[in-house]
A and B are shown apart, each in its own frame.
Chain A
């Protein structure tokens, strides 16, 4: 990384308790093939498996990359950046991702729920990073953007966060405009 360049994210991984992919997104050429990607995921997973990254995000370094990670239930969240990157920026990205997923899955953060709502997870990734550039790190804002189109209108409002409720209201409005 050039010293004076923009913060860049190399990949975001969401893995299951066996280290298998739930959803992953790569933004750099460091892992050109699928097998290189899988090997990377495997080593990241094995290396972090035994650590306790539940209350606070944890951090490690290898292959000249910084990896920041957090576990929620049976889901493992990872963000990778170059070794010159400001660790706290990567941490903000990870936190935004975890927060947004928590909101979108309505606190039921686990593997089966994530797979059931894979469309939301993929949209969520799309709203956080654009080809390595950070788009947004605020979990509420990310979830808000995703939920604009996807919150189930039938869900009781009490279970929704304010931002989701707002998003929902916005959606109703757009719908009426479009129809």
Chain B
């Protein structure tokens, strides 16, 4: 009876999962390990038991200290056997057990015997095992053998010693450094991998000696490198030498020719390493890039996915800094959109989005639409972010891009993906005024059928801010009120607030809003009812239609000037008492979130080509901040924000710096203030700005900082109007004005009454460079030719005696605030003439290119020829005026 049953079991195991380790159990295997102690060893059986032990460890099983010690001692007995197969398993087992120092002593002599054995396999493996488990004292005993092994004629032995040396260098550098001579000899080895390992070790030994590394590298570029791996290593070391010699730049880049030569190597591994190294050279020129791009382009049509991936990933990175250089590959890229490997397809698309020009946008969007349906969300997010950057780059194309976004918004997708789309639409609405109305409607349609509460409330809030300012606010009401009827309590409450905002801003809508809000008084949820009651009361819903009071608007639209996370912490710490919660007690210091938030998408789990966020990711945070302040929201698109300028000496009572935000017709000064006196609380902090030396500026708004407690920075703003599009300059004097209240240091409580006080700050200037964005071009000559001589203005200037040409060049670059191109800001030492190329975007989005030629005469007088090309004659003239008056 029992027989057939067992057989049946076997059958099933055969089909499902036959494994020699089926039902294996640690305790049993440890019992089995007793065979290691048999006087008559059975090598085959012992090997099997070791394999079982290794299997257990490999599956994640762990041995207790006692178990490990027992196994270790038993295994050491196996050195008695002369069976080679068993010995190899013993080596593996010892490495896995990583014995403690006192246990190591037991096997040292056996391993040292193997190290000197006639069998190469024994020697190589014994070296690796011994070096792995050894400590410093033992190492000095075996050092002699290791040095011999490094130059052993058997390559496996030499490699074993060299690789062990690389690991030992971390723990015992002083010992390994003594092996330099032997390692150097091994670098000349005829065995391919020995050379590779020796090169790696020698470089690590010498890595802090730049001269030695440079010498090592030059020697090898003249000699023979025997393996692709060693060649790749050499290329990495060459890149390092180039990087470190960057400061002494003179004409041709050292070793560039060698790198270019590697592009013709027979191993793809080497070709790719060299191409990648060239693309990563700092300040790489178009001429240097071309050959590397050419080989990468060939790889794009390879039959091997790995090669295509490597090439497209590298080109994607190049496209961020040198989009023009990659455009030649566009046709190959487009065919990759349909690549089976979706990582490759996504990289191809995001590259195309970076290199595409305005005319190719529509075609590209068509291709992407087909592609989007069959990739995972994580890839889609990468694409959405790339499209957002593209749209900001070509605002005229907003229609097709906005359409694309709204289409994908309607399709299936997870929260992160939908959030990326909504965020993108919100940013486009904010930055492209023409896109506002259509964008808002897309969002309205989306919330009609949105399963994510978070997104619904986010959109409702945004609608409340933007909707009332549109040409026909009434058309949004239906969408909003539908939420009140159909959604969960959170969304309903949010919709009620949005309705109130429309009511507050648009008087003609008030009667309808009141009707709708009154209906909400019967909602089943407390919060919804409370909000409706509050808003009706505030807006005067008892019949009369009056203009909404200012403080009501402030309540509805005013941004909370404390970070939410801080408010949350304070509320949690608040203990209910007679004392009401005071919002002024909440610290205002933002834990640098705006920037971190912006950077987050770069560290996406996919790691696929970071989205093309411009280097000025800070401007996004500023833009968000400024557009959240009602007084400034009508200023249009932020053109540029300066770096903070200190207005106080270090370590004074109050530390203030200012950021200059430039708009087309306005300038906003953001004063970042810190109170460094623990015994004081400042309130109603403002900066009184005197523009007497800035005639073209007129103050239009000021936003005081309500409270500035000790050591928690806050901001106050002052806005000026200036002639539209004109680079008006001027000097402003600043006085910090505030009410100071004494704080009792023991209780932290401030006194009731304060005293008005002032504090003199340093002056602040708006200079021409504030109206210039540093925007580089990858190929200056091309850009110069394309711009054409229509609005070219040339003139010559004498800059007077200067310390050096370097100083003169830097002075002019700083004066203009433009981006130096192709590394021309570096002046070779002792040269008597220099040409510097600059590029930038002037306010009004006018592209400007400047060519500066400097000459130094025998009296150290500097003469300069300035040639400007731009798309606007007036701008070309302005540049000359700036230089003439600077």
Name A's B-contacting residues (CB within 8 A): 3-7, 21, 23-24, 34, 37-38, 51-52, 56-65, 68, 83, 86-89, 91-92, 112, 115-116, 118-119, 122-123, 126, 130-131, 133-137, 145, 148-150, 171, 174-175, 177-179
Contacts and interface: CB of A to CB of B under 8 A. Distances in A.
Given A65-B607, A131-B167, 17 more contacts: A3-B240, A4-B240, A24-B58, A34-B62, A51-B341, A56-B303, A61-B343, A62-B606, A87-B307, A91-B269, A122-B58, A123-B88, A134-B196, A135-B163, A135-B193, A136-B159, A174-B84
A136 B160 CA distance: 11
Given A21-B58, A174-B84, A88 B310 contact: yes
Most chain A CB inside 10 Å of its own CB: which residue of B19, B160, B204: B19
B193 A116 contact: no
Contacts of B354: none
A89 B306 CA distance: 10
Contact of B85 (A34, A115, A149): A149
Given A58-B305, A86-B269, A119-B47, A3 B239 contact: yes
Interface in B5-53: 18-21, 47, 50-51
A7 B72 CA distance: 33
A64 B303 CA distance: 25
Contact of B51 (A7, A118, A134, A178): A118
Interface in B51-100: 51, 54-55, 58-60, 62, 82, 84-85, 87-89, 92, 95
A86 B310 contact: yes
B272 A86 contact: yes
A125 B73 CA distance: 25
B821 interface: no
B295 interface: no
Give 3 closest A-B pairs by Cβ, nearest first.
A34-B60, A4-B240, A87-B310
Interface stretch (B230-238, B674-682, B757-765, B778-786): B230-238
A177 B132 CA distance: 29
A6 B198 CA distance: 11
A5 B170 CA distance: 14
B330 to A, nearest CB: 22
A129 B1 CA distance: 52
Nearest to A146: B88
Contacts of B196: 134
B240 A59 contact: no
A92 B304 contact: no
B229 interface: yes
B80 to A, nearest CB: 13
Nearest to B166: A133
B92 A122 contact: yes
Contacts of B60: 21, 34, 37-38
28 contacts: A3-B239, A4-B236, A6-B200, A7-B229, A24-B58, A37-B60, A51-B341, A57-B305, A57-B306, A58-B306, A60-B341, A61-B607, A61-B608, A62-B606, A63-B605, A64-B603, A86-B273, A86-B276, A87-B309, A89-B269, A92-B269, A115-B20, A119-B47, A123-B89, A131-B132, A149-B84, A178-B119, A179-B82
Interface residues on B, range: 35 or more
A87 B608 CA distance: 14
B20 A58 contact: no
Nearest to B314: A87
A60 B239 CA distance: 26
Given A57-B304, A59-B305, A149-B85, A177 B118 contact: yes
Contacts of A133: 163, 166-167, 197, 200
Interface in B126-156: 128, 132, 156
B121 interface: yes
A95 to B, nearest CB: 10
B592 interface: no
Nearest to B95: A126
Contacts, number: 155
B208 interface: no
A135 B159 contact: yes
A59 B311 CA distance: 12
B799 to A, nearest CB: 40
A145 B156 contact: yes
A173 to B, nearest CB: 10
Contacts of A23: 58
A177 B117 CA distance: 11
A58 B54 CA distance: 29
A63 B20 CA distance: 35
B92 A123 contact: yes
Contact of A60 (B160, B307, B343): B343
Contacts of B605: 62-63
Contact of B84 (A112, A126, A148): A148
A86 B272 CA distance: 8
Given A88-B310, A123-B92, A135-B163, A7 B128 contact: no
Given A89-B229, A145-B156, A64 B607 contact: yes
B268 interface: yes
B92 A126 contact: yes
B340 interface: yes
A59 B343 contact: yes
Contacts of A150: 85, 88
Contacts of B132: 131
B192 to A, nearest CB: 9
B53 to A, nearest CB: 11
B607 A118 contact: no
Nearest to B307: A88
Contacts of B121: 145, 148-149
Nearest to B125: A126
Given A63-B605, A149-B87, A88 B269 contact: yes
B166 to A, nearest CB: 6
B304 A56 contact: yes
A24 B304 CA distance: 25
A35 B540 CA distance: 61
B607 A62 contact: yes
Interface in B220-257: 228-229, 232-233, 236-237, 239-240
Interface in B188-228: 193, 196-197, 200, 203-204, 207, 228
A65 B85 CA distance: 36
Contacts of B95: 126
Nearest to A89: B269
Contacts of A63: 605, 607
Nearest to A61: B607
Contact of A88 (B21, B59, B84, B306): B306
A88 B340 CA distance: 19
Most chain B CB inside 10 Å of its own CB: which residue of A21, A59, A65, A179: A59
Contacts of B92: 122-123, 126
Contacts of A21: 58-60
A136 B193 contact: yes
A57 B88 CA distance: 31
Contacts of B88: 123, 149-150
A178 B82 contact: yes
B381 to A, nearest CB: 13
Contact of A91 (B54, B167, B306): B306
B303 to A, nearest CB: 7
B276 A59 contact: no
